[in-house]
């Protein structure tokens, strides 16, 4: 859970920073997208970085889900008779979103790939430049797409809020005085990441990026 999660968080950081290039204009954004495909050429074939990333990420997602499913199955086996009444004492609303939130995030990722990677549900389709696809995809008339992205990204934020802290704890890093720091760090980092991601669709919707 912690290790595969860390791989996915590392990807999210790069993804978020790359997205922000859209504020530097169409040329900057498109050339960055092109660079991702040609990086390392001619020493390595085109799309080397992307192919490696795709394989690693797919493996991380599959293993992350496998861990989650086995944890959930162990949990249900460990408590065959449920409580008639049970009240949480840790006050962790976020913790309770982890499992269904993960499913929502998975559905979002599928839509997101169909939208901006394969162009299947994007008005401009696969052949348009990345910049045009983003601008068309989040056009004001398609406000519901933006709304869905914002809700899904909020889920990602909640998932990371507990996930990051939990990963530090699983790896044995969160002892003593460092616990409080890492807890705050997880909250601030998750919020910053979500804001960075949300900025792009919202900017397109309100017309800051055209």
Partner 1 sequence: MNLTLKVWRQNGPADTGRMVTYQVTDVSPDMSFLEMLDVLNERLILDGDDPVAFDHDCREGICGMCGMVIDGVAHGEQRATTTCQLHMRHFEDGATVTIEPWRAAPFPVIKDLVVDRSSFDRIIQAGGFISVPAGSAPDAHSVPVKKDDADDAFDAATCIGCGACVAACPNGSASLFTAAKITHLGLLPQGQPERASRAVAMVDQMDLEGFGGCTNTGECTAVCPKGISLDVITQMNRDYLRSPK
Chain residues that interact with partner 1, rule: CB under 8 A: 70-71, 74-75, 77-92, 95, 98, 162, 165-166, 169-176, 179
Which CB atom, from 138 or from 168, has the smaller least distance to partner 1?
168
Radius of gyration of the chain (CA): 19
Question: Could you count the other beta carbons within 10 Å of the beta carbon of residue 159?
Answer: 21
Residue given tokens 């991601």 in the structure block: 197
Query: Least distance to partner 1 from the beta carbon of 179, Å?
Result: 7
Query: Least distance to partner 1 from the beta carbon of 125, Å?
Result: 42
Pseudo-torsion of CA 121, 122, 126, 132, nearest 10°?
A: -170
Which CB atom, from 68 or from 121, has the smaller least distance to partner 1?
68
Q: Which residues of 92-113 are buried (b: 16+ CB within 10 A; e: fewer)?
A: eebeebbeebbebbeebeebbe
Cα(109)–Cα(156) distance, integer angstroms? 11
Query: Least distance to partner 1 from the beta carbon of 169, Å?
Result: 5
Which CB atom, from 10 or from 72, has the smaller least distance to partner 1?
72
Which CB atom, from 83 or from 144, has the smaller least distance to partner 1?
83
Query: Least distance to partner 1 from the beta carbon of 79, Å?
Result: 4
Which CB atom, from 160 or from 204, has the smaller least distance to partner 1?
160
For 157, the enclosing helix (H) or strand (E) is helix 143-170
């Amino acid at each position: 859970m912690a290790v595969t999660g860390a791989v996915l968080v590392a990807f999210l950081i790069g993804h978020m920073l790359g997205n922000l290039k859209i504020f530097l204009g169409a040329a900057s954004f498109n050339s960055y997208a092109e660079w991702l495909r040609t990086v390392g050429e001619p020493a390595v074939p085109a799309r080397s970085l992307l192919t490696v990333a795709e394989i690693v990420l797919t493996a991380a997602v599959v293993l992350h889900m496998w861990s989650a499913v086995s944890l959930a199955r162990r949990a249900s086996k460990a408590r065959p008779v449920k409580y008639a009444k049970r009240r949480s004492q840790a006050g962790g609303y976020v913790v309770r979103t982890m499992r269904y939130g993960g499913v929502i995030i998975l559905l979002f990722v599928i839509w997101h790939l169909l939208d901006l990677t394969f162009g299947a549900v994007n008005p401009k389709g696969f052949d348009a430049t990345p910049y045009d696809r983003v601008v068309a995809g989040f056009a004001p008339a398609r406000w519901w797409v933006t709304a869905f992205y914002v809700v899904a990204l909020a889920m990602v934020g909640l998932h990371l809020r507990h996930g990051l802290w939990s990963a530090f704890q699983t790896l044995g890093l969160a002892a003593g005085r460092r616990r409080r720091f890492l807890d705050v760090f997880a909250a601030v980092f998750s919020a910053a990441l979500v804001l960075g991601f949300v900025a792009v669709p919202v900017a397109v919707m309100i017309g800051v990026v055209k």
